[in-house]
Amino acid sequence: MNKKIITFLILVWATNQTVSQPDPSPGAASVGIDPLYSEEKIAAASGDQERTQVRLELAKAEELLWKNNLLLLASKFNIDARKAGIEQAGLYANPNIFVDQSIFAEPTQRYFDFTRSGQTVVQIQQVFLLGGKIDKRIRVAELSAKMSEQEFYDLARALITKLRRTFYFIHYYRDAIAFYDKSLIALDKTVNSAELAYKRRAVLQSEVLRLKALLFFLRKEREDLRIKVLEKEADLRVLLNEETYKSQAVAIVPVLDLDFVEKATIEGLKLDNMLTKAREYRPDLKKAVQALRYEEANLELQHANAIPDLAFGPMYNRGGTAFQNYWGVTAQLNIPIFDRNQGNIKAAEKSIQVRKQELKNLILEVENDVSVALATAKAKDDLYKKFRNTYTKDYADLAEDMILSYEKRYISILEFADFFETYRSSIVEMLRLQTDRMEAIEGVNYSVGTGLIVPSYKSNGESGGAKEGSSK
């Protein structure tokens, strides 16, 4: 593909020299390579003129995510369901009523005799849970609800990170597409000029065909980027679940706080401080701690379940004993000889060991996640800041001189093509580096579980500078 791009650049300028005969002044020559076309023309080249472009700020997108995202809504319902389990765990057992009525009374020769001559037994029993079972069941249910809350925050952490990364991806890849669009607009004109020149026998047919083929390959490379943007827009629509952006006819244009993007820095972050914050804020780590506490509470509950419950209540028997009307008291208690709940107790003890090992493993993962995220972000940030003001700017400043030198034949076609291939690659790679840098910064926030480097949103919805310690 690099060879094709080099050939394309050579043919573009060679054809312009042969057919268009441009003014050799630097200003006129620069139009053929990097013209400043209007947004309307770029939209026409990209096909977005048929889509309604809707600008979306990151603060507004995060607000819509918290409000509309279906996974977050489902997770909230799950929390409510777990909290309902707390209410259920605190309920007492219902009383039990037992009625025994004779079908046929011998003395009276009557069926279902409810009079004094018949026999009727009524018994009421209430089960009393011993060993503090109710309190222990409530504790287990509360910990289960707390685990669901941490699952919600962990899901929100992942979705917020995905939203921000998607935002940055769409923004910078749109810039890359715009860069290709400028080249395609120039190449379209060159192809038309080449076809006219071929009719005048000024260029060979093979050069025109190769030029058209290169136009096709360049458009394909550009369309690959556009497809990736469309895929990310689809992810954004799912995340936001907002009617305004659901239509495929809507092109979402992310609006970034470029001041924050430029000033965002990793230099002030220390690994030890980040690890401390990760232990404090990471919802998956909190969930693992709650899971251990849940198993410990469950072990206490299983020990309590080994204590038999007492069923107690009054009984009335008419005509069924030596007394016509007999009143008594009933009590029922299981004797724990064989089943002492020993199996469930052993299972709960082993579950505690499982949760402890999982917690230790998660702590190791968190420490490594934070360390790798910080190292990655520093590498991307250092590379970006080293070249952001010189790398592409120096190429842009040199471009006009190279064009003029080529027109005056001070440099060869190969030198000229190599320079502009490097120039094109530098622009695209710099945009990718900006995307990688912001994704790495979001990786830092994700690894810690809180927003160490995020925009500070103003009351009017606009973004401000960097903000540390945010819980977002």
Q: How many domains does the chain have?
A: 1
Give the separation between CA 177 and CA 206, rounded to whole angstroms.
Answer: 29
Residue 205: per-residue pLDDT: 75
In the chain, % of residues over pLDDT 90: 46
Q: What is the pLDDT of residues 273-323, one digit of tens each?
A: 999 999 999 999 999 999 999 999 999 999 999 999 999 999 988 877 767
Assigned domain for 240 exists: yes
Residue 32 lies in a domain: no
pLDDT of residue 214: 67
How do strand 52-57 and strand 250-255 relate by DSSP bridges? parallel
- The predicted model scores a pTM of 0.78
Least confident interval from 3-7, 77-81, 175-179, 421-425: 3-7
Neighbours of 196 (CB within 10 A): 12
Overall average pLDDT of the 318-343 stretch: 86
In-domain check, residue 46: no
Domain range enclosing 390: 61-448
- Residue 327 has φ and ψ, to the nearest 5°, of -115, 130
What percent of the chain clears pLDDT 70, i.e. is strictly above it? 74
Per-residue pLDDT for 227 more than 70? yes
**Is residue 271 assigned to a domain?**
yes
State residue 322's pLDDT score. 65
Most confident of 10-19, 180-189, 399-408: 180-189
Q: Is the pLDDT of residue 64 over 80?
A: yes
Between strands 110-111 and 96-101, the pairing is unpaired
Read off the tokens for 61: 């997108």
DSSP string, 65-114: HHHH-HHHHHHHHHHHHHHHHHHHHTPPPPPEEEEEE-SEETTTTEES--
Complete DSSP assignment for 261-312: HHH--STT--HHHHHHHHHHH-HHHHHHHHHHHHHHHHHHHHHHHTSPPEEE
Say which range, 34-43, 140-149, 304-313, 416-425, has the weakest mean pLDDT: 34-43
For residues 336-355, average pLDDT: 95
The pLDDT of residue 136 is above 90 = yes
- Average pLDDT score, the chain: 80
Q: For residues 11-28, give the mean pLDDT.
A: 39
User: In the structure encoding, which two tokens stand for residue 359, read together?
Assistant: 């917690």
Instruction: State yes or no: pLDDT of 7 exceeds 70.
Output: no
| Confidence band, pLDDT 50/70/90 cuts, at residue 416 | low
Is pLDDT at 250 greater than 80 in this prediction? yes
Q: Is the pLDDT confidence value at 79 over 80? A: yes
Q: Chain centroid to CA 458: how far?
A: 24
Highest mean pLDDT among 174-188, 220-234, 319-333: 220-234
Residues 80, 132 contacting (CB under 8 angstroms): no
Please give the pLDDT value at position 411: 59
**Contact present, 434 and 450 (Cβ < 8 Å):** no
Write out pLDDT tens, residues 360-413.
999 999 999 999 999 999 999 998 888 776 655 555 566 556 656 644 556 554
For residue 256, pLDDT beyond 50: yes
Stretch 431-437: mean pLDDT, rounded? 90
In contact, 283 and 449? CB cutoff 8 Å:
yes
Q: Which amino acid is present at 280?
A: E
Q: For residue 90, is it within any domain?
A: yes
pLDDT greater than 60 at residue 34 = no
How high is the pLDDT of residue 22?
Answer: 37
Asked whether residue 319 is assigned to any structural domain, the reply reads: yes
Please state, in angstroms and as integers, the Cα–Cα distance from residue 227 to each residue in 4, 46, 99, 224, 234, following that order: 22, 11, 74, 5, 11
Is residue 228 in a domain? yes
pLDDT of residue 408: 59
Q: Say if residue 36's pLDDT is above 70.
A: no
Q: What type of residue is 87?
A: E
CATH of the domain at 202: 1.20.1600.10
Task: Answer whether residue 406 is part of any domain.
Answer: yes
